[in-house]
Amino acid sequence: MSLSILFFISTSIYLIVMIVFAAVFAGGLYLAFSGPSQGRIDQTRGSFLSGGNGGDENAAVFFGLQIVIQVFGSDDLRSQIARRVEAEDNTDSVEEKRKFFKSLAAILTENRYAWEYGFWDYYSDTETAVGTFNEWRNEIEASMATEPEELGQEVDKLHRYSDQKEFLIVTLMMLIDNRDEAVEDDIGDIKFRPTYSQLAQPFLGMVESIDDDDYWKSSTFEQLLNGIRSLDPRVIERDGIYVYPGSSQDGLSSMDLIGDEGWKYLTDHSLR
C-alpha cells in the first residue's frame, strides 16, 4: 500500500474522530444552557417545585380572596385596614407573619357587617397555581397607585366615574407549599419534623370541603378567614396583600364598581 493511501486513510480517521468530539461538545453546551429557567417565582427554597419542570403536580396550591368593604366615607376603617396591610413589611419571622395574618383576618371578620361583594379562588395544580399567583399579582400591582407621584388627592377622572369614596377592595393571595418534605426551620431530628403538606392539610382540606352551593355565602368567607388565622405561616411560599385603591384616603364609589366591566366578577357575588 502506498504512503499516499496510508496518509489519506489516517487523515480521514482523524477528521471523523474530531467531528464526533465536536458533536459531543455541542451537545454538552446545549444541555448546559437549556436547564431550568432562572428568576421565576418557582425558583425558591432550592428544590421548591423542582424548578418548575417535572415536579409534583400538587406541590403548590393557590388561594386568593377578595372582599369589597363599604367604608362609610367618614369612619377610620379605611385607614385602619391600610395600616394593617402596610405592617406586612415588618414581618420577617414566622411569628411576626403569624401575628400579621391573624390580625388582618380578625379585622376583616370583625367588620363583616360592611362586606358588600366577594370573590375567592383555589387551584391545587402546581402549574396553574403558580401561573394564577403571578397573574393576580401583576394585574393588581399594575392597576394600583403605589408610588408617591400616583397618590394624589384628586380622583383620576379618566378612570373613575365619581369622587365618592365608599368602598375598598381587600385582596389576600398566597402560594402554599404542599410538598411532602420536612419543614426546614423546625427543631429536633428531621425524621420527626412535620412536612409542608401535613401543615397545609387542615386549611386545604377545609377549602376543598366547601359545597358548591355555599361558595359565595358570607359565612363561607368568614370560614376562609378563620382558616387563614390558623394556617402555619411556614407553608406560605409567597403572599400578596393589597388594598385598592392604593391610598389610605381613597376609595371607590358604587358607580366605579358597577360601571366598570372589570369588576363584574366581584359584583356578581353579593355578601349581603
DSSP at 48:
G
Is 224:71 a contact under the CB 8 Å cutoff? no
Across the chain, mean pLDDT equals: 78
Give domain status of residue 39, yes or no: no
End-to-end Cα spacing for the chain: 100
Give domain status of residue 213, yes or no: yes
Over residues 61-92, the pLDDT tens digits come to 999 999 999 987 556 777 788 788 777 777 77
Give dist(CA 119, CA 172) in Å, integer: 11
**What percentage of the chain carries pLDDT values higher than 70?**
69
Going by pLDDT thresholds of 50, 70 and 90, the confidence category of residue 245 is confident
Provide the residue range defining the domain that includes 214: 58-267
Positive or negative torsion for Cα 211, 60, 218, 96: positive
Give domain status of residue 27, yes or no: no
Q: Which residues contact 164 (CB under 8 A, 6 or more apart)?
A: 73, 251, 253, 254, 255
Give dist(CA 78, CA 252) in Å, integer: 11
What is the count of structural domains for the chain? 1
Give dist(CA 115, CA 268) in Å, integer: 14
Is 176:198 a contact under the CB 8 Å cutoff? no
Give domain status of residue 52, yes or no: no
pLDDT given at position 32 = 36
pLDDT given at position 252 = 84
Neighbours of 21 (CB within 10 A): 10
Q: Which residue has the cell 411576626?
A: 96
pLDDT given at position 253 = 82
Give domain status of residue 9, yes or no: no
**What percentage of the chain carries pLDDT values higher than 90?**
47
DSSP output for 51-94:
GGSS--TTSEEEEEEEEEEE-TTTSSHHHHHHHHHHGGGG--SH
Going by pLDDT thresholds of 50, 70 and 90, the confidence category of residue 259 is confident
pLDDT of 33 above 70: no
Give domain status of residue 33, yes or no: no
Going by pLDDT thresholds of 50, 70 and 90, the confidence category of residue 241 is very high
pLDDT given at position 218 = 98
Give domain status of residue 46, yes or no: no
Give domain status of residue 40, yes or no: no
Over residues 176-192, the pLDDT tens digits come to 999 999 998 777 777 78
Going by pLDDT thresholds of 50, 70 and 90, the confidence category of residue 30 is very low
DSSP at 31:
H
